[in-house]
A and B are shown apart, each in its own frame.
Chain A
Amino acid sequence: MWWGDIALAPDAATFWHIGPLQFSLQRRPRSWNLEHARSRDSESMDFEIGVPELREIPNATSLRLQFTNSPDSLKLKPASSDRPFVIRTEAPVLLAAGQEVCFYVSTVMRLALSHGGTLLTEIPIFDLKDTWFGAIIDGELCYASTTSARADFSALPVRPYRPVTPVTVINNTSKSLLLDKFKLPAPSLSLYSNAAGRLFTDGVHVVFRAPQNDVEVSVTRGTNEHLSRDIDVAPPRQLINRLQTFTMGSFFK
């Protein structure tokens, strides 16, 4: 696993490069200094962890984590998104009547930096664009994303900072279903890892029922045929309650 405790000797530093995110941590007698910057390349495959030197990060944002006496280590952990995603398919997908498919959708997560069980700060790995989902008056602010909606798991590129969500869509109506945009309730999904360190989330199960295209959305906890749940990484930020499930009647629009 590339996450865990980051231990530094006094005045030592470490540099990390995880996809679009570069950050460095430097331990001082009474503080840990964090510098981070993000590129606009959401597909970046750059990956360097725990380089024991202080590298200059261009256009970095600084944050000083102040303590009475700086601790020996901080904990770095993946964290799920703080808002749902509105995901557009790169090309429209038509699901025939009576068919079922499982799409593998990857999303960008965040990194949580904590000490002694207390969250210090969260660092987004990529600056996601905001978007609005639903009616103008009572919709919801989400992050915008796109997906290739791959049904073949092996074709999915492996990017350590993008957890994979299996989205199962079942069309129980009598008509074909056009899927070009959907809302993924990322804050309601737990984050897991398999033994190889590949991150994935709970699955999302969507059933369309006749006669009025009623949508039933549920979260399936646990494992997937391709991803074994070896490590629990992060619990969901919020649980889906009845109200939210009802709201997600407009899961696909």
Chain B
Amino acid sequence: MSLDLIREFLTTGSGAVILRSLVILLLGLILARAGGALVGNVMARRMSAQGLFLLRRVVVYGIWILTAISIMRELGFKLHALLGAAGVLTVAIGFASQTSASNLISGLFLVAEQPFRIGDTIRIGDLTGEVLTIDLLSVKLRTPDNLFVRVPNESIIKSNVTTITRFPIRRHDLKLRVSFQEDLPMVRDCLMRVAAENPGCLAEPLPLFIVQGFGDSGVDIQFSTWARREGFFEFRNSIAGDVLAAFRKDGIEVALPQLRLSDDVAADVDAIKA
């Protein structure tokens, strides 16, 4: 008796509609999952990580939307009336979600332009971190002190972004100030010797010795050396230590701020007047 009732409910009227809708929902979910996995496997070697991530989302969301439309049709909704209402709703939502839309479009530009990739270390303003994900609305970073930072895509598009890990080698600029009494060719030779002996310093590109000008208390020098990106911070520490040690050994004096004091006030006044 009860089986007959169930059979009647499922084969006629609203029961059949609900059953078909459930089947479509189930198929849609399976298809979305399988489609996402298939895209992931097929395109894994051909696309970048964030491109693949985006494509999988497009496939999964696309199947979900088609599933939802099919279910609504099955349930008897008139889609053209719904789409008309959706048009009005879109304007309202558009006004309400300007920021999200801006972030979304910025995200698409970020994916297309690829100024950085997942795993890169980037600097945006004062913020430096490793890129964890590049999503449609935001980029997630992990800072060196292990904080999780969400940066809206719109602000990335508007800012100067430095990709620190783009190239395999980096230049380190060491700013120095040596006393006016020092012989600059001797200082240059000393620094070049430090670069030649430091194991982390690349032989080429050649180190640069640039006299930047005369400061308040000494000659300002920029000493630029190149090193591999890996271990760059260790290199910075080691080259600074080596320069100090070489300066001490060669008797080169690092300039310190100087203030001249005199107790002969009258002579100073005369000097100023003169």
| A interface residue numbers (CB < 8 A to B) | 86, 127, 129-133, 136-137, 141, 144
Whether the Cβ atoms of B203 and A131 lie closer than 8 Å is: yes
A interface footprint on B196-210 (CB within 8 Å = 1, 0 otherwise): 000111111100000
Could you name 12 residue pairs across A and B whose Cβ atoms are closer than 8 Å? A86-B204, A129-B199, A129-B201, A131-B203, A131-B204, A132-B202, A133-B204, A136-B167, A136-B169, A137-B167, A141-B228, A144-B203
How far, in whole Å, are A136 and B201 apart by their CA atoms in the complex? 15
Whether the Cβ atoms of B199 and A127 lie closer than 8 Å is: yes
Whether the Cβ atoms of B205 and A132 lie closer than 8 Å is: yes
Residues on the B chain within 8 Å of A130, using CB: 200, 202-203, 228
How far, in Å, is A59 (CB) from chain B's closest CB?
14
Whether the Cβ atoms of B199 and A132 lie closer than 8 Å is: no
Whether the Cβ atoms of A141 and B169 lie closer than 8 Å is: yes
Residues on the A chain within 8 Å of B167, using CB: 136-137
Q: How many residues of B contact A (CB 8 A)?
A: 12
A interface footprint on B168-200 (CB within 8 Å = 1, 0 otherwise): 110000000000000000000000000000011
Which parts of B215-269 form the interface with A (CB within 8 Å)? 226, 228
* A-B pairs with lowest CB-CB distance, top 9: A144-B203, A131-B203, A131-B204, A129-B203, A130-B202, A131-B202, A132-B204, A132-B202, A132-B169
How far, in Å, is B158 (CB) from chain A's closest CB?
26
Residues on the A chain within 8 Å of B205, using CB: 132, 136
Residues on the B chain within 8 Å of A131, using CB: 202-204
How far, in whole Å, are A136 and B11 apart by their CA atoms in the complex? 72
Residues on the A chain within 8 Å of B226, using CB: 132
Given A130-B228, A133-B204, A137-B167, 16 extra CB contacts under 8 A: A86-B203, A86-B204, A127-B199, A129-B199, A129-B201, A129-B203, A130-B200, A130-B202, A131-B202, A131-B203, A132-B205, A132-B226, A136-B167, A141-B169, A141-B228, A144-B203
Tell me whether chain B's interface is mostly helix, strand or loop, or mixed: loop
| B interface residue numbers (CB < 8 A to A) | 167-169, 199-205, 226, 228
How far, in whole Å, are A130 and B204 apart by their CA atoms in the complex? 8
Whether the Cβ atoms of A144 and B169 lie closer than 8 Å is: no
How far, in Å, is B170 (CB) from chain A's closest CB?
10
**A138 and chain B: residue at smallest CB distance:** B167
How far, in whole Å, are A136 and B203 apart by their CA atoms in the complex? 13
Residues on the B chain within 8 Å of A141, using CB: 168-169, 228
How far, in whole Å, are A134 and B199 apart by their CA atoms in the complex? 21
**B197 and chain A: residue at smallest CB distance:** A40
Residues on the A chain within 8 Å of B200, using CB: 130
How far, in whole Å, are A129 and B202 apart by their CA atoms in the complex? 7
**B199 and chain A: residue at smallest CB distance:** A127
How far, in Å, is B269 (CB) from chain A's closest CB?
57
Residues on the B chain within 8 Å of A129, using CB: 199, 201-203
How far, in whole Å, are A7 and B204 apart by their CA atoms in the complex? 43
Contact flag A144-B228 (CB < 8 Å), given A127-B199, A132-B169, A136-B167: no
How far, in whole Å, are A130 and B205 apart by their CA atoms in the complex? 10
**B198 and chain A: residue at smallest CB distance:** A129
Residues on the B chain within 8 Å of A144, using CB: 202-204
How far, in Å, is B168 (CB) from chain A's closest CB?
6
**A141 and chain B: residue at smallest CB distance:** B168
How far, in Å, is A40 (CB) from chain B's closest CB?
9
How far, in Å, is A1 (CB) from chain B's closest CB?
31
Residues on the A chain within 8 Å of B169, using CB: 132, 136, 141
How far, in Å, is A163 (CB) from chain B's closest CB?
21
**A88 and chain B: residue at smallest CB distance:** B203
Residues on the B chain within 8 Å of A137, using CB: 167
How far, in Å, is B274 (CB) from chain A's closest CB?
54
How far, in whole Å, are A133 and B205 apart by their CA atoms in the complex? 8
How far, in whole Å, are A130 and B196 apart by their CA atoms in the complex? 11
How far, in whole Å, are A127 and B200 apart by their CA atoms in the complex? 11
How far, in whole Å, are A220 and B219 apart by their CA atoms in the complex? 55
How far, in whole Å, are A132 and B204 apart by their CA atoms in the complex? 5
**A181 and chain B: residue at smallest CB distance:** B204
How far, in whole Å, are A67 and B201 apart by their CA atoms in the complex? 37
How far, in whole Å, are A133 and B203 apart by their CA atoms in the complex? 10
How far, in whole Å, are A130 and B169 apart by their CA atoms in the complex? 11
How far, in whole Å, are A108 and B121 apart by their CA atoms in the complex? 35
**B169 and chain A: residue at smallest CB distance:** A132
How far, in whole Å, are A133 and B168 apart by their CA atoms in the complex? 12
How far, in Å, is B115 (CB) from chain A's closest CB?
15
How far, in whole Å, are A95 and B205 apart by their CA atoms in the complex? 26
Residues on the A chain within 8 Å of B199, using CB: 127, 129
Residues on the B chain within 8 Å of A136, using CB: 167, 169, 205
**B229 and chain A: residue at smallest CB distance:** A141
How far, in whole Å, are A136 and B170 apart by their CA atoms in the complex? 9
How far, in Å, is B33 (CB) from chain A's closest CB?
39
How far, in whole Å, are A129 and B201 apart by their CA atoms in the complex? 8
How far, in whole Å, are A130 and B202 apart by their CA atoms in the complex? 5
